[in-house]
Amino acid sequence: MAFPPPPNELALGRTEQSLADLFPLDRSYCFLNHGSFGSVPHEVLATQQAIRMEIEARPIEMLDRRLRANLSAARARVAQFVGTEPERLGFVVNATEGVNAFLRSLRWERGDEVIVVDQVYNAMRQSLLRLTREFGIGLRIVEVGLPVPTPSAWIDAVESAFTPRTRMLLIDHITSPTALVLPVVELVRRARARGVRTLVDGAHAPGSIALSIDAIGADAYTANLHKWVCAPKGCAFLAVSSEHATEVHPLATSHFFGEGYTREFDWQGTRDVSSWLAAPAAIDFFERFGWERVRARNHSLACWAQRFLCARWSVEPISPLDGSMLASMAAVWLPPRVQAMFGSAVELQAHLYAAHRIEIPVIDWKGRWHVRVSCHLHTNPALIEQLAEAILGLGTRQCPAPAAVDCRATAGAPTKSA
């Protein structure tokens, strides 16, 4: 069965290679892990560097007299992009910091319960485990088995876990280990109907799916801009509902405590604010292509990758093959025989990098391994085909390392059949 690659949804006269040239990635290896840490386009890096140089030229002016106005402008652009009001959005370094700022601003009582699904990001799980030790809260982990047949499986499993002691639902918008888009709007609606607070970890959402935070209606929503929006590292935000704006504070308490939500988050002590100030440049960079078209292109490639790899490796899909639960990533089971060759998923991931120059996460999910393929403008079908062949070629642990491969193949490269 042939799997022709998806069409280039951008159709702007650019080849796949020229799209990849927008990023400073080392092309001697195949980068399929944008979901962990993305690459910042050359143009956005240049903007950040210009901001840094301006700060170094006039430090007091830029970090004192002009900081509030500059951050206000950046915050307004980000808020417009993610669908919320600027006065309820504060910049943080990453989504983990945003989650902790919200969790640690609340008053907990012994016996309060927090619900998470088993595919919650591990840093969030650890943050909650710390609360269990400090305040005696209970952590209820909802099991959702793989494969997931429909989004309703999440809704049924979470709703059945609510108890009279449930105080909060912490839910991923897109799961990190399994790359699945969760039905957060309905989950938030059902939680709020029971008087349960909701915190959404949207680390992978901005830039990979259309986002309107206010339409979701959660008590708090935190997300990274340094993943799919490709802002510089250390750029994220925490948006809270108006009812929580006076009670939520950044982790670093500084000079402006009690003077308002954005005032507190704008100044958390001396730090490099250039990534926050460069966020509008990252948003505008992809806006020239049209964000809807960028997301559609990346989504179609992720859906193709799922179908292609499942067929090539003869494995069942983790989620529906119609792509209804995918954004810009796809998790695909590895063939059982491959798992039997290596002592751990970490060992296989290291082997793929060292021997095949492929950068991709290999995840051990409850004893069964899968890879998570990320798709952005620098990703093309040839890279995914190279991954497929590398896995199929693992006949022995000592398979020879291939010569360095230039991964700038264009969409016109021949496509292998499954």
pLDDT digits (tens, 9 = 90+) for 239-252: 999 888 888 888 77
How far apart are alpha carbons 191 and 217 in whole angstroms? 11
Domains of the chain: total: 2
Does one domain contain both 106 and 220?
yes
Domain contains 413: no
Does one domain contain both 116 and 262?
yes
pLDDT attached to residue 63? 82
298 neighbors 384 (Cβ within 8 angstroms): no
Q: Which helix (H) or strand (E) holds 362?
A: strand 362-365
How far apart are alpha carbons 381 and 34 in whole angstroms? 15
Q: Which helix (H) or strand (E) holds 139?
A: strand 138-142
pLDDT attached to residue 363? 96
Domain contains 187: yes
Domain contains 113: yes
Domain boundary among 254, 285, 316: 285
pLDDT attached to residue 397? 47
Locate 259 and state its tokens. 């003077």
How far apart are alpha carbons 192 and 159 in whole angstroms? 11
Domain boundary among 285, 309, 339: 285
Domain contains 347: yes
Domain contains 405: no
285 neighbors 229 (Cβ within 8 angstroms): no
Does one domain contain both 302 and 239?
no
241 - beta bridge partners? none
How far apart are alpha carbons 207 and 270 in whole angstroms? 29
Does one domain contain both 210 and 304?
no
Task: Tell me the residue length of the chain.
Answer: 418
What percent of the residues of the chain are helix, what percent strand, and what percent coil, each to the nearest 5? 40, 15, 45
For the chain, 418 residues long, the average pLDDT of each consecutive 10-residue run is 61 69 93 93 97 94 88 96 96 94 92 92 85 91 90 90 95 95 96 95 96 96 97 96 87 74 85 95 95 94 96 96 96 95 96 96 96 96 96 68 39 32
224 neighbors 203 (Cβ within 8 angstroms): yes
Q: What is the pTM of this model?
A: 0.91
pLDDT attached to residue 167? 95
182 neighbors 169 (Cβ within 8 angstroms): no
| Domain coverage including residue 120 | 44-285
**Burial class of 408 by CB neighbour count within 10 A (0 to 12, 13 to 18, 19+):** middle
Planar angle of CA 268, 270, 273, nearest 5 degrees: 85
Domain boundary among 266, 285, 304: 285
pLDDT attached to residue 259? 74
pLDDT attached to residue 407? 39
Longest dimension (CA), the chain: 64
pLDDT attached to residue 8? 60
